[in-house]
Amino acid sequence: MKTPVITEFQRTIILSEDEKQSGFWIQDDTHFSDPKTPLFLSFMLPAFLHGANKAFKRWKYPIDYIALKSSEGYVYQTTIPAPGDPAQQFQEQLKILRPLFPSLKERLYQKVEDILLPTYEKIEANSRINLSLKDALQKTEELYDFYLTAWEIHFDVVLPQGVLHETLEQLYKNLTKSDDVTFLHEMLTGVMNKFLESDQKLWELAEQAKKNQTLSKIFLHSPANHLQSELSQADDGQDFLSLLAPIIREYGYRKLNNHEFIGETWVENIHEPLSIIQTFIQKDYHFQKEFNHVRTEREHKYRQLLDRLPDSEQKEEFKQVYQWALKATCLRDDHHFYIDAMLPAKARLLLLNVGKTMVLNQIMENPEDIFFLYLDEVQQALSKPEPLTPLISKRQEEYRTYQKKKAPASYGTPSEAQLSSPMLQQIMGSIKETLDDTNRLKGFAASRGKHTGIVKVIHGPDDASKLEKGDILVCKTTTPTWTVMFAVAGAVVTDAGGVLSHSGIVAREYQIPAVVGTKVATTNLKDGDMITVDGTNGVVTIEKQK
């Protein structure tokens, strides 16, 4: 087989050797912690760039542009800060965005109801019908166009919320004369969102199961991968599965790795939700009690802060902005639910249907093979069918190789503008401090407190069973799918992310220490190590290595 020539489309998403030398590219492990398949990159990178750069321009964001490209499946980004005074730029942003602050939640849900959900219904319908080659090509191209639309909505929602949070932080710092905003972030916990909502629904089912002797026995003693079959064989189990079905229909368009097409959704396989229910039962976790406790703590901390602040116009301004921010807190998870999670889940099912058409036309052997082709290759194959099995086999082997490799943290040398960017200073500072001390890892202080415990390196929710109460969850990053593990862990340490990453936000919800963005935690730590996580100062100390 001839080595395929990199096409014009593929050049837009593949990082060349010249670009590695001439620019400065940082691995985007916050969004994409593992290597991605060619078809996912084909949809995701153009959509991300379209949405981000359009929002930067619309909202006067202090970034000229951002570019994303892939090297060996890993995603790298380069960011060019906009010239000018950051303080002045922020004020220009604020002038545009402040009128939106009271209605950020409504803005998202209007787009959910008017655009996202109606289109998802069409995508799902097209995933269930037989497609001709012509139809498959048309539906694939329509899906690509919708990816651009969805990620335009994504950044149109996320960036204004970011400015709202920055406004709140500045007011807090001015009032308290402190740069430590962890306490402020703790005052934004205990707010219901779509992922907590789904956990609550599963917990309610777990509570029902605990009252039934047959169900309790199955969940307490069966391996997670046997749960569905054992439930199916019992009358009470069949009734239980019928209660689970509507929850899956509403909350099941998600997967373990949301930013990817490979991997089954909950709609296809209920192993993951059953595992979550099992964890709730085995760990005797009480969702409602914990949620109510966090909400009460939040309210207490807010009153405590107000009591110690003297009356002033700035205090009144803080109170107003805080209420807007509290109302909008759910957006971080709700936008993820409807876009980051639901979009690739729905897209996967449609693309698998396109894959079936390609199998019927002898283009490939398995519908899942489609994910190892770039978009332009899929378009070409649907227009002029020819066998692509050798190319797909080569790509699959490359993908397995990439998964085993440790990707470079960056390529190239940062420019003066990039070095002076507060965002990049945080990233580079974290790397430097981490490498300076082999017994300590430095990251961002994301959730206050200190905890000493045993390391469990978790590569995905399938590893959740090895996490015991009080263990320290060490991982590359987390997504809302991982939330149940925070109920068990004593602390969290991640390679990627910042204070407002999912890991940091959920750690504060569960009131456990967290240090995020260490860059090297999963490399330097292994199962059985004993470490101390200082979430107040952003330091992880290795006490004893196994």
Alpha-carbon distance 80 to 524, whole Å?
31
Q: Can you say whether residue 84 is alpha, beta or left, with left for phi > 0 and alpha for psi between -120 and 50 degrees? A: left
Tokens standing for residue 60: 């006067």
Q: Give the number of other CB atoms < 10 A from CB of residue 3.
A: 7
Count of C-beta atoms within a 10 Å radius of residue 33? 24
Alpha-carbon distance of 486 to 473, in angstroms, equals: 8
Round to whole Å and give the CA distance between 225 and 47: 36
End-to-end CA distance of the chain: 47
Is 126 exposed, middle or buried, given 0-12, 13-18 or 19+ CB atoms closer than 10 A? buried
Q: Mutual orientation of helices 287-308 and 502-510 as an angle, nearest 10°?
A: 90
Catalytic entry in 185, 336, 451, 502: 502
Question: How far apart, in Å, are the Cα atoms of 263 and each of 136, 378, 439?
Answer: 21, 20, 36
* HSE-up of residue 437 (Cα within 13 Å, Cβ side): 13
Is 50 known to be catalytic?
Answer: no
Query: Residues 62, 34: contact at Cβ < 8 Å?
Result: no
**DSSP letter (8 states) at residue 255:** B
* 78 strand-pairing partners: 67
Which ranges constitute the DSSP H helices of 342-449? 342-360, 375-383, 389-404, 416-419, 422-436
Residue 68 has φ and ψ, to the nearest 5°, of: -125, 130
Q: Contact, 472 vs 527, CB < 8 A?
A: no
CB 260 within 8 A of CB 351: no
Q: Which residue has the tokens 């001015």?
A: 174
CA distance 502 to 481: 10
The residues near 273 (Cβ < 8 Å, ≥ 6 apart) are 202, 244, 247, 248, 252, 266
Q: List the catalytic residues.
A: 502
